[in-house]
Amino acid sequence: MSHTLGRTRTALPQPAVPGPAAPPHSPPALWPGSTTPLPDDDLAVGGVPLTELADRFGTPAYVLDEDEVRHRCRAYLRAFPDTDIYYAAKAFLCRAMAHWVQEEGLGLDVCSAGELELAVTTGFPPERIVLHGNAKSPEDLRSALRLGVGRIVIDSTSEIARLAAAVPVGNRQKVLIRVVPGIAAGGHAKIRTGTEGQKFGLSLADGSAQHAITRVLGQPRLQLVGLHCHLGSQITTVKPYLSAVRRLVGLLARIHDQHGLALPELDLGGGHGIAYRPGEPALDPVGLGVKIRAELAGSCAAAGLPVPRLAIEPGRAIAGPSGIALYRVLAVKQTGGHTFVAVDGGMSDNPRPALYGVRYAPRLVGRRSLAAPAAVTVVGRHCEAGDILASDVPLPSDLRPGDLLAVPVAGAYHLSMASGYNLVGRPPVVAVTGGHARLLVRRESLADIQGRDVGL
């Protein structure tokens, strides 16, 4: 067990901060385990004051606690013994992140040639990489085969012949079939991927999955090693995963009966929910691991099948609570009965509130305020009414331009989904550990943006 400030760290999903260090208006669970209080209501993460990071690297900026990332990787390995754990790169990827998860013993789940090539440049073993995607480009498949990825997840029947034709003569590529089990789970309709009527996977109900399995088994250059499913994102209960196990084991049994084949692998994807605000539920990986393994063993025993090797793909649950976003207040405005606090970032570095209506718990750092809290809406700088980072959150009523706001649980699906809207440039990513800070990803400059514009 690792320790912080002489106290044993709590189990996932959220590590603890000692009680007196809890930031007001935000419970300890929302902040990385290294978070400590400083004078003037500043906070230190990884031993580095947030105000110092803002002054040194500017704002907006993203801070990533390296020790928190590593702690969460290790906690997943403990919660899921004898399981292949692939970090979902789509949550957030840079070379350092790939290096950390590799050192901690995790594999990698990628969705494009871009993610794949970036990981491999760090020395990440390609055989520990799984390639996903509902519409893999020819370049995606060429890169995967050239670099030797361990698994490719088949998402459509049209992909089967195209992939088989691309495999060099004399080789066999290991593949999984992505199955849609018909289970509704996830925090928002736009991030539910286990139901019928969405773009991912092959339906169990209409026979598409079984048809794809037969076709793959007829391709000598493809080796079917298992089934895959991903139910969605921000799932906070265990029940949907147990239902998926039962349905997929039922399919494994039919495959065994029809083809005499016991597939050796079952990948249940990720989607493990985390808390973004006080009081929100979060999925406990320890309990999830225990119940999934028990359900898998029991279902296989009832079907007379050997238990396949389990794989999971956590992303948000590792990166999300390890990251903090820093913003400067640019303006405070009272209008229409509302108080709007405008900051120097917004939907170009975090589109999730605009896309899914998610909410956060920002707090003032670096200035002690005795003013009573008031409900304000923190908005971004972009030309969209929906550019809102946090609605109706309690912040000191004397907020003013120049104040620094910190937003916890900001490590996943912010920068990975960032855009070039209004050409403001994407923020940097700064790693902290042991009292030191270092730049991982530099700020996107106006020169970067203008350099891509090559014609008149």
Please give the positions annotated as active site: 383
DSSP secondary-structure letter at 426?
P
DSSP secondary-structure letter at 22?
P
Non-local (6+) Cβ contacts of 55 within 8 A are: none
Quick one: tokens of 153? Answer: 């997840």
The alpha carbon of residue 246 and the mean position of all alpha carbons in its chain are separated, in whole angstroms, by 26
Cα atoms in the Cβ-side hemisphere of radius 13 Å centred on 144: 33
List C-alpha distances in Å: 306 to 59, 245, 260, 261, 297: 54, 14, 13, 11, 9
Where b means 16+ CB within 10 Å and e means fewer, 130-165 reads bbbbeebeeebbebbbebebbbbbbbbeebbeebbe
- The values of phi and psi at residue 57, to 5°, are -110, -5
User: In a 10 Å sphere around its CB, with 0-12 CB exposed, 13-18 middle and 19+ buried, how is residue 225 labelled?
Assistant: middle
For residue 131, which of 122, 123, 142 has the smallest C-alpha distance?
142
Non-local (6+) Cβ contacts of 207 within 8 A are: none
List C-alpha distances in Å: 371 to 51, 340, 364, 374, 399: 20, 17, 12, 9, 9
The residue assigned the tokens 């929906």 is: 386
- Describe the crossing of helices 158-166 and 138-147 by its angle, rounded to 10 degrees: 40
- Binding residue numbers: 271, 313-316, 352, 356, 384, 413
